[in-house]
Structure 1
Amino acid sequence: MQAPLRSEEAVAVDAVKAIDVIAEVVRDARPGEIPARLCAVAVKLLPVVGASVSLRCNGIPVRLGASSAEASYLAEVQATLGDGPWRYASRAGTPVLACDLTSGRDVYRWPMFAHQVTAAGVQAVYSMPLGDDSVTVGTLDLYRDTPGELTEPELRRALLVAAVMTLALTALPREENGSGGREPWLGGLATEHDEVYQAIGMIMAQLGIDADEAVARLRARAFAQDRTALEVAHDVVSRRERLDVG
C-alpha cells in the first residue's frame, strides 16, 4: 500500500497537475487568446462556473477576456457599479473572497453588487489580484453559482492561474497585425472599451465636468436603465443618447 503524501508533497503534486492543465489549454494559442483561455483554465481547475480578467484603469476597468458570455456580462456589471470584490483586491493587492452574496457580511459590504450578480445566478465571487508586491495591474474574477469558500488547494490553484495571467499581461511578446507590422496584443482586446473612454470625453465636454464626474454620470445612467456602462457608452458615442438631458 502506497504511503500517503506529506502535505508539502501533496501541494507540489497538485501544482504540477494544475500546470499541466494550463499548458494544455494555452498550447498553440496566439497572445491575444491567452486571457480568455486562462479564464477557461480557471473554470476547469476550480468549483466555479465562470471567470473573467480585467485590467485596472483610472475610472472603469477594461475587460480583457472571459470564459463565457455570462462571465463577460458579470465583468461588465462590476465595471458599471464600480464596486465589488475586484475593487478591493486591486487596491489591496490581496485576494478578496465574497463567499456568500445571498446573506450575511458580503451582502452588507456590497449590497448593490450582491443584488446584481445574484440576479444573474451567481452567489459567490472570488477576486485574485494580478501583479506583484509593488503594483496591481488588474484582477482575475471567479464566479460561483452556489455559496461556498475555496479550500486551501483551490485557493492555491486560483493564485497559480492569476500568476500565469500576470505573466501573460506583462511579458507576452507583440504579435503581427494585418499590415505586416507588430502591435501590442493587448490593444486589440481593449478595442470595444475605447468607446467607454471616448464617451467619457464627450460627457466631459457636454457637461463641463472632470473625468471622475463623467465616469460617475455614465455609471449612474447605466444603473438607472439597468444596462452596462459599455452599452450606454456605445449610445453616447453614436449620439443616440446625451447625458445632459433626461
Structure 2
Amino acid sequence: MRTTTQILAAIGAADGTGRSLPDLLCVDCARSLDLAGAGITLMNDDGSQAVVGTSGPLASWLEELQFDLGEGPSLDAARTNRTVDHDDLDSAVRARWSAFSSSALAAGIRAVTALPLQVGGVRLGSLCLYRSTPGRLDPDRTTAARAYGAAAVVVLLRLQEQVWPRGTLPPELGEPVAYRAVVHQATGFLSVTASVAIADALLLMRAHAFATEQSLVHVAREVLAGRVHIHPEENEDD
C-alpha cells in the first residue's frame, strides 16, 4: 500500500485529465482498496455541506443522498470528528440510518467506512469508502484508508489556496518572493508559539484559511501582526 506522499504523487501525475484532484483521489482510492466507490464531502462548523469529489456516479449519488436525507456515515464522521465504520448495513445500522441504509443496500452497498478530515480543531469534512461486500477493512487496507484521508486533507487545503477573487492574481504569481517570505515567517512564528513542528504549523494555517475562506498569505500576515491566534487541538479520534 502507498504512503500519503505516494498517493499525492500519483494523482498529481494524473492531473490534466479533465477531472478534479478530489475526483482523482477518490478514483485512485476506490481502485487501490477495491471499493464500490469513494466520496469526499466538505462540512464546516456551521453545517454547510458540499460534495467535492467522487469516484463515479454511484458514489456521487450516495453522497448527495445523505444530504437529502440528513443522515449517513459521511455526515456522522464530519460532525463527530470520529471514524464511522460499519461492516454490514443490513443489520442494526438500519435503525440508525434507516432511509440511507435501505437505499444503499438497494444499490448494492453492504459496508461503509467514513473518515473525518480535519487539521487540529478545524473540521473540513469526510472521506467515505463504500464496499459491495460485508466485513471490516483488514489492517493493511485500514492503514491505506488513513493515508488516503491524509492525502484528501492536503488536496483540499491546496485547492483552497488556488481560489482568488476574480480579476486578481494568486500571490504566488503576483508577488512570489514576498508571498514565500511572509508564509515562511508566519510558519516559524506559529511553530514556536504553538509548540508544534514546522510542517504542522503550516497545516494549521492552511486549515484556518480554509475554514475562514481567506487566502493563506492573508492568514500569515494576520498571524504575524498578532490579530489571529491559532491553537492546535487534540484529535479525539482514537
What pairs up with 1:1-246 in 2 under 5 angstroms? 14-16=1-3, 19-27=5-13, 29=15, 33-57=20-44, 58-59=46-47, 61-102=49-90, 104-172=91-159, 173-174=161-162, 181-182=169-170
Cα distance in 2 for partners of 1:153, 1:133 equals: 25
* Change in 2 beyond 3 A, CA 1:32/1:177: farther
Q: Deviations over 1:38-84 (max 9, x none)?
A: 10111122131111111004455200011101111111111111111
- Give 1:114's aligned amino acid: S
Cα distance in 2 for partners of 1:165, 1:39 equals: 9
Cα distance in 1 for partners of 2:9, 2:52 equals: 20
Q: Deviations over 1:141-167 (max 9, x none)?
A: 111111110112111111111111111
- Give 2:148's aligned amino acid: V
* Change in 2 beyond 3 A, CA 1:60/1:146: farther
Cα distance in 2 for partners of 1:136, 1:78 equals: 18
Cα distance in 2 for partners of 1:180, 1:89 equals: 36
**2:193 paired residue number:** none
- SS of equivalent residue, structure 1 residue 27: helix
Q: What is the identity percentage for the equivalent residue pairs of Structure 1 and Structure 2?
A: 29
Cα distance in 2 for partners of 1:59, 1:178 equals: 26
- Give 2:150's aligned amino acid: A
8 A Cα contact 1:93 1:133, kept in partner? no
8 A Cα contact 2:11 2:21, kept in partner? no
| Number of residue pairs the alignment of both structures matches | 168
Q: CA deviation at 1:92?
A: 2.1
Q: Deviations over 1:192-236 (max 9, x none)?
A: xxxxxxxxxxxxxxxxxxxxxxxxxxxxxxxxxxxxxxxxxxxxx
- Give 1:86's aligned amino acid: S
- Give 2:57's aligned amino acid: A
Unpaired segments of 5 or more residues in structure 1?
A: 1-13, 184-246
**1:215 paired residue number:** none
* Change in 2 beyond 3 A, CA 1:22/1:41: farther
* Change in 2 beyond 3 A, CA 1:157/1:88: same
Cα distance in 2 for partners of 1:32, 1:177 equals: 23
- Give 1:72's aligned amino acid: S
Unpaired segments of 5 or more residues in structure 2?
A: 172-238
**2:234 paired residue number:** none
Cα distance in 1 for partners of 2:15, 2:158 equals: 15
Cα distance in 1 for partners of 2:80, 2:144 equals: 20
8 A Cα contact 2:7 2:151, kept in partner? no
Q: CA deviation at 1:175?
A: 6.2
TM-score, normalisation: structure 1? 0.60
- SS of equivalent residue, structure 2 residue 20: helix
8 A Cα contact 1:100 1:123, kept in partner? yes
